[in-house]
Structures are given as C-alpha cells and as structure tokens.
C-alpha cells in the first residue's frame, strides 16, 4: 500500500509541478514583457515572444466568438480529462512511463485551462523559427502535453502484450 501511495504522490508532484512551472513562467512573461514584444535568445532560431492565443493549437478557432470558444473548450476539457482518467485507470499499476506521460499531459491541460478560465485565452511565449518561418508560439503547458502524448504513443506502440495460450483446432 505504501508503494501505491508513493507512486501517486510522485505522479501528483509531476502534474502540480507542471502547472506551477507553467503558471510561474506565464506570470513572469506578463510582468516583464509587453504584449507582442519579442526578445531574441538565439538569433534566427529562438525568441521569447509574448502573445495571447484565444484559439486552440496553432490558433485554430481564434476568430470564433467568445461564447463558442468557452463552450468548445469547456466540453473538450471535460472530454480530455475523462479520457486521461480512463487511460490512467486502465494502465498496469507498474506502468511508470504511461503514468508519468498522463501526469504531464494532465498538468499541461490544467495549466492551459487555468489561462482560459482567467483570461479567455492562453499565454504563449516560446517562439522557435528559422529566418521568417515560425513554428507557432507555445508555452510550458503545451510542451508538457506534446511530450506526454509523444511518449504515450511511442510507449503504446512498443508495449509488449502478454499473449495467452493458443487454442488448438480439433
């Protein structure tokens, strides 16, 4: 029982740590930069650029009405949380990679949900680009979600399944 409690404590720390790091970086950006200000960190590669994204990933739905976005993101957030919970419950109790992936995704999802509830949009600031070609700006929560999903996909793709005995034909 102690092992299970320790495991859940570690997973909760990953999720809460992700949320705290995400929110702290966003507060720092909002307090130290002007909206749309960009500070080059690695010239022609990476800048800190303060933007607000009212839409979904890559700005999808950004031009939709506030009411529609509120309903859409509310329903998708609930759906995502239920899906994450279902996946988590179905994982083997010793599946650390799967559980840590879910914890990171959950922390990222909650981090962005907090922005949507407080500001009606998400604070983004990590801006990678090459000359004039920009990857859409993102934040710590987006990174946690992306890394968690990638790890989960790779983990499930290469997970060894236990195969039961083959039934013999009469």
Residues marked as catalytic: 124, 142
Strand partners, 52: 123
Contact 137, 49 (CB under 8 A): yes
Contact 32, 145 (CB under 8 A): no
Angle at 137 between CA 135 and CA 138, to 5 degrees: 120
Phi (first) and psi of residue 91, to 5 degrees:
-70, 150
Measure Cα distances from 56 to 44, 59, 95, 112, 168 in Å. 26, 5, 30, 10, 52
Between CA 100 and CA 145 the distance in angstroms is 11
Beta-strand ranges (E) seen in 7-144 are 38-42, 46-53, 122-130, 133-134
């Amino acid at each position: 029982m102690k092992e299970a409690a320790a495991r859940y404590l570690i997973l909760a720390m990953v999720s809460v740590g992700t949320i705290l790091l995400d929110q702290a970086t966003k507060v720092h950006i909002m307090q130290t930069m002007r909206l749309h200000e960009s500070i080059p960190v690695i010239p022609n590669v990476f800048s800190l650029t303060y933007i607000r994204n009212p839409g979904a990933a890559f700005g999808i739905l950004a031009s939709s009405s506030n009411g529609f976005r509120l309903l859409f993101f509310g329903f998708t957030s609930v759906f995502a949380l239920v899906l994450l919970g279902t996946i988590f419950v179905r994982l083997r109790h010793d599946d650390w990679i799967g559980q840590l992936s879910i914890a990171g995704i959950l922390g990222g999802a909650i981090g962005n949900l907090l922005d949507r509830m407080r500001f009606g949009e998400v604070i983004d600031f990590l801006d990678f680009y090459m000359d004039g070609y920009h990857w859409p700006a993102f934040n710590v929560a987006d990174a946690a979600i992306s890394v968690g999903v990638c790890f989960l996909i790779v983990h499930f793709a290469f997970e060894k399944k236990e195969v039961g005995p083959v039934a013999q034909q009469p």
